[in-house]
Amino acid sequence: MTGLSTFFNWSGGKDSALALYHLLQDQRYSIGTLLTSINSTHNRISMHGVRRDLLMQQAEAIGLPLRLLELPDQPDMDIYEQTLHTVTTDLQNNGYTHAAFGDIFLEDLRQYRETQLARANMQAVFPLWKRDTRELLHEFVDLGFKTIIVCTNDRFLSADFAGRIIDRDFLKDLPADVDPCGENGEFHSFVFDGPIFNKPVSFTLGEKVYRTYASPEHTDTETANMGFWYHDLLPLD
């Protein structure tokens, strides 16, 4: 029996990879494509900063088609929602009924996703929802996934964490106020190997850079900008 036609919202990071791993084993769902938001100005995954070329290699190694949500640099919510609605409506017209996410515990984010999908008469799926994040990270490592930190929020983590491989030592070194899976935006990662891959994604380390972005939540000068360390990854192929 064919499962529910589902597209997966793919960030390229560890939570996405683990959620996809579980869904690929769940006969209730049939994953037909990956969907990733791209900063079309810089040709990189939104927020994560990973190059488009590496994203394409990731999708090829997983063996699923990739659809891109092309966005301008720092789009406002109206542009984002209009673009998202256009893409999800097209996917719905092509038979998709469900959209899957790697979110774990952010209630407002889940509600937002469900509201946006309802506009296209689609339902959301959250295979990791409410699971303990420390246990999830241990499971991720034990399954043989390999991932590297590509972005850190400097409010929570120093530049030294950018470029680190996630392993058990990484978990031991995390400050107490940082979620083990970075669910609050403390860090982002790029998965380059694991049980859902038919081959590793090859890359070498590039430069480490610091970027600031305007925060919509604060207006005072001390907190008006959010700072992030990015460790660039360079494709080898």
Query: Can you tell me the distance from the alpha carbon of 15 to that of 129, in angstroms, rounded to the nearest whole number?
Result: 11
Is 220's pLDDT higher than 60? no
CATH number of 4-125: 1.10.600.10, 1.10.10.60, 3.40.50.620, 3.40.50.2000?
3.40.50.620
Per-residue confidence (pLDDT) for residue 237, from 0 to 100: 67
What is the average per-residue pLDDT within 110-136?
A: 96
pLDDT tens digit string along 8-67?
999 999 999 999 999 999 999 999 999 999 999 999 999 899 999 999 999 999 999 999
Over 41-76, what HEC string results?
Answer: CCCEECCCCCEHHHHHHHHHHHCCCEEEEEECCCCC
Is 217's pLDDT higher than 50? no
Mean pLDDT of the chain: 93
**Which band of pLDDT confidence, cut at 50, 70 and 90, is reported for residue 221?**
very low
Sorted by sequence, the CB contacts under 8 Å of residue 113 that are 6+ apart come out as: 99, 101, 103, 124
C-alpha dihedral sign at 143, 144, 145, 148: positive
The CA R_g of the chain, rounded to the nearest whole Å, is 17
Q: Please give the model's pTM, rounded to 2 decimal places.
A: 0.93
pLDDT tens digit string along 162-212?
999 999 999 999 999 999 999 999 999 999 999 999 999 999 999 999 998
